A and B are shown apart, each in its own frame.
Chain A
Amino acid sequence: MWGAPMIAIIARRLFSALVVVFCVFTISFLIMRSAPGSPFDADKALPAAVVANQAVVTGMAEPISGAHTGMVSEVRVEKNDSVRAGQVLWVLEIHGESVPINAEEDFEVFRVVAKPGDRLAAGQAALYRKTGFFRQYITSLLSYAHFDFGTTFDSQGQRTVLENIKETLPVSAELGCYALFIALLVGVTAGMFAGWKHNTILDHTVMSFSMLGISIPSIVLGPVLIFVFIIWLQWLPAHGGWESGLWTGWGQKILPSLTLGLAYAGVFARLTRGGMLDVVRQDFIRTARAKGLSNGTIIWRHAFRGAIVPSVTFLGPAVAHLLVGSVVVETVFNVPGISKYFVESALNRDYPMVMGVVVLYSTLLVLFNLLVDFAYAFLDPRVILD
């Protein structure tokens, strides 16, 4: 199984994962850039040069400069003008002689930084043009290929996307891990017993609760948990807790993890129960019983491996949903995770940050799906990866 063909399979899978990430990048780029409004709309207070500089850094604008040094006597274009090739952009005065500077091709003016009376050195930008859509796309794609995710608009270029992600991703990942742990522990255990004690009170109770877990959304469960444990029973700290947006101590971590985990516990319980029902009817379980093995040994040593196969299949989508679902939980509990960049940045048209988060999410998603496929093959040797 782990020979040369396996390496080829892995390589092929990784390649298709890359294709998926590429598609995600392209689609989100398209959606973002076709949005009305620009991130620079609100920056009225900032000088044109600062805004232009940011735009250049993010590949949205390019400087236009002349080849000569001289005094600017006149500027003939304004912000957002459409310029045709050959049109006069500005006029330089060199040793008492007026030299018009012409546009080399058609473009749209982004910002004008030169004013009449300014001294302009050769190669110094007098104005900035908007970069074409396709050009922007290629530029950002190339920088992504070099693992350069750019700087955020919201911080005015002070912070890189990577810094923001590094700061918040561990928090989200921790939350996700706890939630997954709770979901698996509760769900798989409950499902195993429900399947073992098929059609008993225990079974029906577990199934009803799991359906409830699936049906109650986290936007309901979260606030209800806050109400019960923090406001009503006061078992957990309120101040310095969920209101402060901190992420320290189990007092703050337990409720978000529970909220996120319990919904998936329901799904895992149903899946495990289904798997268990298939397994317990099989001959090797009857053999184990006939040998006089204890119930515990049969359940955990023999049936377990078969019973969790459906759950493992669901792990991939579950991890993905945990990632996305955590947006709501992080909002409810005010957890300082990555989700704050999810909506806020999109609303602020902070393109680099949004792209960074989207690409990160989809990469994780694809990787987890890949891992799950391999785990699946490992658990059930009959499965052939293609």
Chain B
Amino acid sequence: MAGLTLVVLMAVLGYGEPLIERYVTHFSYEEQHPEFALQPPGTQDISRDYSSFDGEGSHFDALDRNGDGFIGGDRELRDLYWIDRFFMFLFDDYDGVLPLIPSASAPKAVLKPIVAADNRISFDEFPVGFRHLNAQFSAEFFDHSADRFALAVQQDTSRLEGLVEERFRALGLRRADVFSRIDRDDDKNLTQDEVNEYRRCFRPFEKGAEAVATMDVDGDGRIARHEFLGAPELHTFFLGTDHLGRDVLTRLVYGARLSITIALLATAVSFFIGVTWGAIAGYYGGRVDNIMMRTVDVMYGLPFLFIVVLLMVVFGRSTINLFIALGAVQWLTMSRVVRGQIITLKEREFVEAAEVMGVSRMRIVFRHLLPNTVGPVIVYSTLMVPAIILEEAFLSFLGLGVQPPHASWGLMITEGVQVMETAGWLLLYPSIFLGLTLFSMNMVGDGIRDALDPQLERD
């Protein structure tokens, strides 16, 4: 019973994937957050594809830098862009690991080798000016700022340096000020979460004018106070992120949908071939039966996974080919089961009656005989679904199944194996999902067999 619940749960999860993506995990399965690659469960970030806003009006003042009651205008947007960029470099690349460009005006304390990368920034590590930041950022910022000044100023390097430094402070990035505002718990250390929390209201402005357009209702190119929706909300990566910073939970659920779909379609393919084949062989008997069943015998001798591998290699690794290939090699047992049933059924009176009444042979097979074989066929089909999920996982593991960026459990396990020493959750969760699903599907299959087959002893 628990098994059935779990199977249903997986199916619901899988097929509700678009809704789950939208409302539960808030991340889409292919959305990448490179700066959050391989982060453990519980890490938070702003979702790009499904952003939502907290409706907190107080953020407006931080964003309206010239105090005119509107967010907008070239200058303001550019300022917001650079603030966002500063925070991006501050945490994602800073933490003393990257080389700093020494500056004459910098106090020696900042330049000394900073404590090892502990993923926190202490006050000493916090940059005094833009020059103490990551080399890439300071170069970018310098070039950008220098353009704003007259040519005469641009040639005077020391004056220019001073002006750029001034602009950096004017952006509100003064050391003590910013530090105390970000450091919400007052422990004199900035953590990733604190930076994210502070940073999030600036985040939309990395897209510049596009950020304005999303909130600008009246179309005047500015965000007025009443149009402001608040800062984007942070969403949690409940099961961590993978090597591209994608949400593992979303991908698992997406994988559930793909795996179950492939399994169902492949089962349908093999069901169709197997039932037809077995029914015709069983009903017609004699030479037809002999030839058809010999073919099945021969195909039993084929190393079937090998044939699937060959088919996948030869006809391209698409998802459609995958389930056709899997289904095409799985119908053998089904046809034997059906044939056995048909042979015992066709001696029964109702078939004779139908024959006497002049019903066509095809009609007898498909209308009178096949409905009576439903029991064993259902049992066999339920046991085939987990078998196919397993094979799909094998193939994906060998790189022949589902192809990236799509997610399947087998593929995720493969990716997890490569980083299992540092990021165990990438192996753990897909394994649990796959193992549990197969376990419960097998249980359900067994249960149905026991229920439908009264001759079988219920041990």
Contacts and interface: CB of A to CB of B under 8 A. Distances in A.
Interface in A78-122: none
A223 B414 CA distance: 9
Given A219-B413, A227-B420, A323 B303 contact: yes
Contacts of B459: 198-199, 277
B442 A328 contact: no
Interface residues of B, number: 42
A342 interface: yes
Contacts of A357: 306
Contact of B314 (A24, A35, A199): A35
B438 A215 contact: yes
B301 A219 contact: no
Contacts of A231: 420-421
A207 to B, nearest CB: 9
A27 B302 contact: yes
B321 to A, nearest CB: 12
A188 interface: no
A339 B45 CA distance: 42
A169 interface: no
A199 B310 CA distance: 45
A332 B417 contact: yes
Contacts, number: 118
Given A212-B439, A217-B390, A361-B303, A328 B314 contact: no
Contact of B435 (A31, A216, A226): A216
A346 B399 CA distance: 13
A24 B457 CA distance: 39
B190 interface: no
A343 B309 contact: yes
Nearest to B442: A215
Interface string B370-403: 0000000000000000100010011001111000
B145 interface: no
B424 interface: yes
Contacts of A347: 313
B311 interface: yes
Nearest to A199: B459
User: Is chain B's binding surface mostly helix, strand, loop or mixed?
Assistant: helix
A94 B142 CA distance: 78
User: Is chain A's binding surface mostly helix, strand, loop or mixed?
Assistant: helix
Contacts of B416: 223
A361 B306 contact: yes
Given A231-B420, A327-B398, A347-B313, A24 B410 contact: no
Nearest to B414: A219
A362 B413 contact: no
A50 B305 CA distance: 35
A20 B309 CA distance: 19
B286 to A, nearest CB: 17
A46 interface: no
Contact of A226 (B420, B434, B439): B420
A215 B439 contact: yes
Nearest to A218: B394
Contact of B302 (A24, A35, A220): A24
A354 B443 contact: no
A35 B431 CA distance: 34
A168 interface: no
A362 B400 CA distance: 21
Interface in B277-311: 297-298, 301-307, 309-311
Given A219-B413, A231-B421, A331-B398, A358 B303 contact: yes
A365 interface: yes
Contact of A220 (B305, B386, B431): B431
A198 B457 CA distance: 13
Given A35-B314, A332-B417, A219 B302 contact: no
Given A211-B439, A332-B417, A217 B434 contact: yes
Contact of B309 (A215, A216, A346): A346
A211 B443 contact: yes
A323 B439 CA distance: 23
A6 interface: no
Contacts of A354: 310
A19 interface: yes
B435 A19 contact: no
A323 B191 CA distance: 52
Interface in A1-55: 16-17, 19-21, 23-24, 27-28, 31-32, 34-36
Nearest to B313: A346
B344 to A, nearest CB: 20
Nearest to A21: B301
Given A27-B307, A365-B301, A215 B435 contact: yes
A115 B424 CA distance: 61
Interface string B238-265: 0000000000000000000000000000
A324 B420 CA distance: 25
Contacts of B304: 324
Contact of B303 (A36, A277, A332, A365): A365
Contacts of A311: none
A365 B393 CA distance: 23
Given A332-B417, A369-B301, A223 B431 contact: yes
Given A31-B311, A320-B303, 5 more contacts: A19-B298, A28-B310, A35-B314, A328-B394, A358-B310
29 contacts: A17-B301, A20-B298, A23-B302, A24-B301, A28-B307, A31-B307, A31-B314, A35-B313, A35-B315, A199-B459, A211-B439, A214-B442, A215-B438, A215-B439, A216-B438, A219-B414, A223-B417, A223-B431, A231-B420, A231-B421, A277-B457, A324-B306, A342-B309, A343-B399, A343-B400, A346-B310, A346-B314, A354-B310, A366-B301
Interface of B: 297-298, 301-307, 309-311, 313-315, 386, 390, 393-394, 397-400, 410, 413-414, 416-417, 420-421, 424, 427, 431, 434-435, 438-439, 442-443, 446, 457, 459
5 closest pairs, A vs B, by CB?
A: A20-B301, A215-B439, A35-B314, A215-B438, A220-B431
Interface of A: 16-17, 19-21, 23-24, 27-28, 31-32, 34-36, 198-199, 211-212, 214-217, 219-220, 223-224, 226-227, 231, 277, 320, 323-324, 327-328, 331-332, 342-343, 346-347, 354, 357-358, 361-362, 365-366, 369
